[in-house]
Structure 1
Amino acid sequence: MGQNGGPGPCDRDVLGRVGRPQDDPHLRRNPHGILNERHLHVADTFPRQYARTQRLTLGEPRNLSVSPDGKRVVFCRSRGGSDPVNCLWLLDIATGEERLVADPGELLMGADDAALPPEERARRERAREGAGGVVSYSTNTEVTVAAFTLAGRLFVVGLLSALSRELIVPGPVFDPRPDPGANRVAYISGGRLCLAELDGTTTVLAGEDNPEVTWGLAEFIAAEEMGRGRGFWWSPDGEAIAVARVDNSTVQRWYLTNPADPAEEPRRIAYPAAGTENASVSLFVITPGQPKREIVWDQDSFPYLVDVSWFDRTTVLLTVQSRDQRDVQVLLGNAADGSTTLSSADHDDRWVELVRGVPATLADGRLVTCADRDGARSLLVDGRPVTQPDLQVRSVTTVGNTNVFFCASPTDDPTVQHVYRWNVLSGTDQLTTEPGVHTASAAGSTVVVRTASLDRPRARAAVLNGPEIWSYAETPLVTPNLTMLRVGPRRLATAVLLPAGRAPRDGGPALPVLLDPYGGPHAQRVVSSYAAMCASQWFADQGFAVVVCDGAGTPGRGSAWEREVFGDLAQPVLDDQVGALAGAAAEVGILDLARVGIRGWSFGGYLAALAVLRRPDVFHAAVAGAPVTDWRLYDTHYTERYLGNPAVDTGPYERTSLLTDASNLARPLLLIHGLADDNVVAAHTLQFSSALVAAGRPHEVLPLSGVSHMTPQEVVAENLLLLQLEFLRRHLRA
């Protein structure tokens, strides 16, 4: 707020709406007349900008869908880099014209978009979604109609006419999906699968009075770890729906409290921690007016339902996985009698990696999957690898009639990712060449590519050989001063960021060092993306040499590299951080190894605390945010993949627990944790702190009331950066 209670420089959710001259010739406008320049915020700082823009993501086009005829692209985007409310837009590829097709402000007419049903709140937390408005939508097959929710209410929009309306149905509504012909909409309400006609007439297709049983919802493990955020699927002809039934009655209950408000009742959650029972998940086919038919498979051997789609109008394609994750089967389910037959199977002595976008089928019926073969993750067609072993397939974007679009990294350079097309006749073509991180959305012959690179502050989304989709994201207030290295005998991918004006071996004073890793499986920090380096650069500009390394277990470098953490999520990861630090110091030459700090969040928080516990000779202070401290408190699917089932063997859990090493703490440690975190629950930090107190080891704890794992609150996100900086300066004499 301003000094007189009026709008201050950040008191707006769309740039230029309040207190700014609209005719300033120095301010660039996008085609929709919205001001979008960083110097609008005259008192800005990077921490404030980073928080206000939700880590520089607001205003960027997202959730892109290409119509099968290749004529239009549907996407979500807010009106500005500080606007958290997404609208729904359409790009006409032939003309390059963008049209606003759904505006939450107009549709809600002032109602509160934050009034979300619990299922939507959970979905956004699992997806790390901090924005509002239209954050997800679904369409019919031809992409002419879309359905979405606002504040638990159901809306539909004709994408060609841009006419939106509310469909009045009993709610609250979650995950609405039009049938393929856009004649009806299925949705979830209160754990029940419902079907709405276009006049609002509603039928409950499946549901039970038992609050532990839901129909059509993804269970926690599917949404958090498997990448399956949905629980029902229309058949191609729109006559039937495959739907997951989830029974949480066997899952242990945990309680999240809000100590800041003792009158608030604890929140009760079903959390399947490692070694405990998962939810029981089964699959049914429902045809309105007919009895439900269960799709039957060996659920004792394969309890995880990974993915569901339709092979044809009478056959369901489902993927199931064993509890130890060493076996995966793709099954064909007969929608008429519920029987299943094996289509494909894969086994790995450590674990079978799940890849988004597969399985799927080509027009000729051949099955497209991914699997680790010859040292890399390959694209397979009917079990035969069709990509070379120097490519690590990361995801499959689209499987069409004759084309498969996918993203992959060269195994010798995980810092980049390119888009490829495999064709049944011509084989594999690389569609992107610019160094950077490319992703894609495709249908038919139309491909939309999003490119993040080190050369541009903002990512660019454009149709290949066609128009660009505007991004309203703000330009970062920092400029990466970056050196990308491959260090040591393991050629560790390492980024070194120096303060503005400094350079490697420039003869200036040695700089205190800050390691800024994530370091764990399934995530990278060292990528060819400008925005990915901005937070680290801000710390560098405060007087640090920041070192970022992707070591053992991180994706992109082949099958063996990812599996180096099997049985031990601690020592191999920590060893590579130490190796990267030594290699960076040798290359850059101005790092003060007597003043080394480390910070991280989630797995990175675990790694930061681990570093000062096990290598106090190298690391002199640590900030550990939302750290896992005892892997027995983390979920089944993630943890058991790497450490096995603690009910069978506790050894890997004891070797990787921070509680075991608590008495070794001899360096300053700041622990930060959101008390509303339902992913890495606050018990991790609280139990670790108790162990440190019992061992007589001083440390600092910063509890965040009402804050979840993704810290979405603007004031929290801004001040967390400042508080970490103060701690590091205090203890590293920076």
Structure 2
Amino acid sequence: GIVTYSTDADCTRAVVTINGIAFLVDVKSAVVTELALPSPVIDPRIDRSGRRICFVHDNAVWVHDLTGLASTSAVRITPTETSPHTTWGIADFIAGEEMDRTRGTWWTHNGSALLVQRTDVSEVAELVIENPVDPDSPMMTRYPAAGTTNAAVTLHRMGLDGSQAEINWDHRTYEYLVDVITDSHGELLVVQSRDQRRYEILTVGPDGSTNVLSETTDPEWVELISGSPARTESGQLVSVHDDHDNDHRRLFINDEPVSPIGWDVRAITGVDSQTVFFSACPSRDSWVCDLWSWNAADGLVQLTVGGWNSGTSRGGTSVISRNSLDATASDVVVTSAHGIHTVESFAEAPSVTPVVYRVDSDEPHLRIAVLFPQGQLPSQALPVLLDPYGGPHGQRVVNAGSAFLTAQWWADQGFVVVVTDGRGMPGSPSWEKSVKDDLASGVLDDQVSALELVTAKFPGKLDRSRVGIRGWSFGGYLAALAVLDRPDVFHAAVAGAPVTEWRLYDTHYTERYLGDPRTQPDAYDANSLLPRAPQLTRPLLLIHGVDDDNVFVSNTAQLSAALTAAGKEHQVEYLTGVTHMTPQEEVAENLLLLQLDFLKKSLA
């Protein structure tokens, strides 16, 4: 299916790919034309005029003239590389996994040139993922684990007239290319230091030179915010960063904060001429996320109230998506000069209806949701299942029914399900950064505190002698940590795709919280599950996709080996042909049933 698209400035033409084949869509007439391009076509981008597209094929960038005036076939614009470890136009692993940047090409505003990322992974450690089903076909990948060498990333201006210039900045200090922004005022480059405490926005000259437009520093780390930076039509710099005096993450226009005190900005969602659109959560109720706008004439305008909402506007047409706990589908409304239109959803109706009970605490950022079987308070105490993610960025407790579909399914199997967002998860800057150097103790303490609060809120409804916990990725780490460190509270755990040793996870994520393992080994030792293996006294099920190229299966294998060496009984389920997540429908369903069987037996 179609997962993304690119349009010209007027949204009259769009380009999409299906199975590596590019199609041009005339939006007004709905005529679709297959483009005769070398396949597979990766990440096609149409320029503002709608005359040309660029795309990646065979690790190189190509340009195709849609008018047929310049050429009837695509033209390669990047140099031929002899090394198989060098690519053009493709985002590096860290950009895609940790910076939310999936592109490596950017048209200049007038369409006369492209800014293109070149990536060299020859110095990045090579890892091999063995396939037990097909041992003759191992997968080789380059992975920058904490404390090791990152990919060498450079940026180049490739003119359609054949000119080329490398964009220059201080690579030694600013190792990470965060983003590139092109608009009528030129090009902006966003870079970040390896320790993530320094962040610069640079202007780019025609010859590839750069100048500092803005610099941000932070003693812990500079948080990257979706949509930031941007510029208004008049050239004002729009950005989001931390207001340490008020402990809020705020929207800034040039150097002036404009978002309201008491709200933490989550994203810049769009800039329409002089108006900036952004989403923000009230600090005292971060279940809620509302859409706001700002411009100099009208000031701040709150566009939604309550729920979990977002939206944007361009050319006077706005799109607003609203969610609430009472609905499992988004309500998407388009407003323009032609009227108001509700976008119809053809998604299949879910088989469960979440009924979410809210539990408040003295700490407003500790968000706790509780679900019971069929949404009804039980007549007797039931076993408890904590179902957290628990890690940075992964907010689970939001004002949207769709966020609790799986949790309600678990509740309907006979559990009281508790979903908690603790410290380190989105909230105020100090709340998020309280996990610096410690991803274990405080995060686990918050799960225990939430359990105590829920027990007090619903007396006689929770069987505290039967408490399980399940999680995936960071949640898998947290689940295993729970039975290792607090067997007095947790009686069984399912740990899916867990990071068990943080030295095995990537540079950008891990070093942000724990520093460089070459200089801070104690932080890594303190947060590792491997030394805790002899502590296991409760049932533990480890699950991991063998083809996981994000949290490598070696994490689970090393913990299993440590448990075996300590004489600790445990279960391991390796999933062949499965990566970090399980999009395969049959696998996902059977995986739930496997976990259910394990938890019911373990908590019997």
- State, as a whole percentage, how many aligned pairs show the same letter: 49
Task: Report the AA paired with residue 240 of structure 2.
Answer: C
Structure 2: give runs of 5+ residues left out of the alignment.
none
- 1:141 maps to which residue? 9
CA RMSD of aligned residues (A): 1.3
CA contact (8 A) 1:498 1:546 kept: yes
Structure 1: distance between partners of 2:250 and 2:315: 23
Report how far residue 348 of structure 1 moved: 0.5
Q: How does 1:56-455 map to 2 (within 5 A)?
A: 133-198=1-66, 199=68, 200-207=72-79, 208-263=81-136, 265-312=137-184, 315-334=186-205, 336-373=206-243, 374-433=246-305, 435-455=306-326
Q: Which string of whole-angstrom CA distances, capped at 9 and with x for unpartnered residues, describes residues 505-549 of structure 1?
A: x6x211111000001100111111111111111111111111111
Report how far residue 481 of structure 1 moved: 3.0
Structure 1: distance between partners of 2:386 and 2:520: 33
Task: Report the AA paired with residue 64 of structure 2.
Answer: A
Structure 1: distance between partners of 2:65 and 2:376: 64
Structure 2: distance between partners of 1:554 and 1:191: 36
CA contact (8 A) 1:344 1:383 kept: no
Distance 1:543 1:349, change over 3 A: same
TM-score for the superposition, normalised by structure 1 = 0.79
- 1:124 maps to which residue? none
CA contact (8 A) 1:711 1:717 kept: yes
Aligned to 2:354, which of 454, 458, 480? 480
3-state DSSP of counterpart to 1:717 = helix
CA contact (8 A) 2:325 2:356 kept: no
Structure 1: distance between partners of 2:361 and 2:33: 57
Say if 2:575 is the partner of 1:704. yes
Task: Report the AA paired with residue 105 of structure 2.
Answer: F
CA contact (8 A) 2:365 2:431 kept: no
Q: Which string of whole-angstrom CA distances, capped at 9 and with x for unpartnered residues, describes residues 474-499 of structure 1?
A: 22221223211113566721111111
CA contact (8 A) 1:488 1:583 kept: no
3-state DSSP of counterpart to 2:374 = coil
CA contact (8 A) 2:470 2:493 kept: yes
Aligned to 2:343, which of 469, 490, 504? 469
Task: Report the AA paired with residue 409 of structure 1.
Answer: C
Structure 2: distance between partners of 1:482 and 1:364: 45
Structure 1: distance between partners of 2:176 and 2:247: 26
- 2:451 maps to which residue? 581
3-state DSSP of counterpart to 2:309 = strand
CA contact (8 A) 2:8 2:46 kept: yes
- 2:530 maps to which residue? 659
Say if 2:368 is the partner of 1:498. no
Structure 2: distance between partners of 1:381 and 1:559: 19
Distance 1:490 1:167, change over 3 A: closer
Distance 1:448 1:490, change over 3 A: closer
3-state DSSP of counterpart to 1:236 = coil
Structure 2: distance between partners of 1:399 and 1:560: 28
Task: Report the AA paired with residue 203 of structure 2.
Answer: L
Report how far residue 172 of structure 1 moved: 1.9
CA contact (8 A) 1:243 1:283 kept: yes
CA contact (8 A) 1:488 1:579 kept: no
- 1:109 maps to which residue? none
Write out the 4+ residue segments of structure 1 that deviate beyond 4 Å after TM superposition.
Answer: 488-491
Task: Report the AA paired with residue 545 of structure 1.
Answer: V
Report how far residue 332 of structure 1 moved: 0.2
- 2:388 maps to which residue? 517
CA contact (8 A) 1:487 1:584 kept: no
Report how far residue 610 of structure 1 moved: 0.2
Task: Report the AA paired with residue 122 of structure 2.
Answer: S
3-state DSSP of counterpart to 1:260 = coil
Report how far residue 155 of structure 1 moved: 1.3
Aligned to 1:609, which of 456, 462, 480? 480
Report how far residue 412 of structure 1 moved: 1.0
Task: Report the AA paired with residue 143 of structure 2.
Answer: Y
CA contact (8 A) 1:191 1:215 kept: yes
3-state DSSP of counterpart to 1:206 = coil
Moved more, 418-427 or 442-451: 442-451
Say if 2:436 is the partner of 1:566. yes
Distance 1:152 1:583, change over 3 A: same
Report how far residue 311 of structure 1 moved: 4.2
- 2:421 maps to which residue? 550
3-state DSSP of counterpart to 2:11 = coil
Task: Report the AA paired with residue 535 of structure 1.
Answer: T
Structure 1: distance between partners of 2:328 and 2:53: 40
Structure 1: distance between partners of 2:12 and 2:334: 19
Which fold has the larger relative contact order, with Cα–Cα distance below 8 Å and residues 6 or more apart in sequence? 1
3-state DSSP of counterpart to 1:406 = strand
Structure 2: distance between partners of 1:660 and 1:425: 59
Structure 1: give runs of 5+ residues left out of the alignment.
1-132
Aligned residues: 593
Structure 2: distance between partners of 1:179 and 1:496: 48
Say if 2:593 is the partner of 1:722. yes
CA contact (8 A) 1:478 1:538 kept: yes
3-state DSSP of counterpart to 1:487 = coil
Task: Report the AA paired with residue 188 of structure 1.
Answer: V
Task: Report the AA paired with residue 668 of structure 1.
Answer: P
Structure 2: distance between partners of 1:460 and 1:581: 33
